[in-house]
Every structure is written in C-alpha cells, then in structure tokens.
Amino acid sequence: MAEIKLQEGETIENALRRFKRKVQTEDIIKEVKRHSFYLKPGEKKRVKQALARKRNRKKSRREVE
C-alpha cells in the first residue's frame, strides 16, 4: 500500500503528485486491474498467446521499415 507523509510547507498538489508517482512505480494499478476479474486458465492462456502474436506482428512491421 502506497503511503506518503505530508511534509511541512508542502502543498496538496505536490503531495498528490508524489503519491501518484509512488503508486505508478509500485505497479499498484496494474495489480488491481489484473485482480479485478477472474480468468479461467484456458482463457488466460489464449489472452497470453494473443498478446504474443500482437507483439510479434508489431516487431515484424518495425523490422520491415
């Protein structure tokens, strides 16, 4: 869990900016999205393969250019 302490004389905007940066570096949002719904093992495998195909197509397009 990301937690920051408000420093003396620090504005709320700066504290919020620090909090957002800390959340992003700890990949909290990614974890929440990953756990927001359940995928059956077969579905997870299909999604993973689809992402791999997408990456390979993108990589091959870059190599052609």
Q: Please report, in tens digits, the pLDDT of each residue of the chain (65 residues total).
A: 788 899 999 999 999 999 999 988 888 888 888 888 888 999 999 999 999 999 999 999 988 77
Same-domain pairing of 44 and 23? no
Same-domain pairing of 6 and 26? yes
Same-domain pairing of 30 and 46? no
Same-domain pairing of 8 and 22? yes
Q: What angle do CA 57, 62, 65 make, to 5 degrees?
A: 130
Same-domain pairing of 20 and 43? no
Quote the domain boundaries for residue 47: 38-65
Same-domain pairing of 30 and 43? no
Same-domain pairing of 27 and 52? no
How far does the chain reach from its first CA to its final CA, in angstroms?
A: 43
Q: For the chain, what is the domain count?
A: 2
| pTM score, whole prediction | 0.48
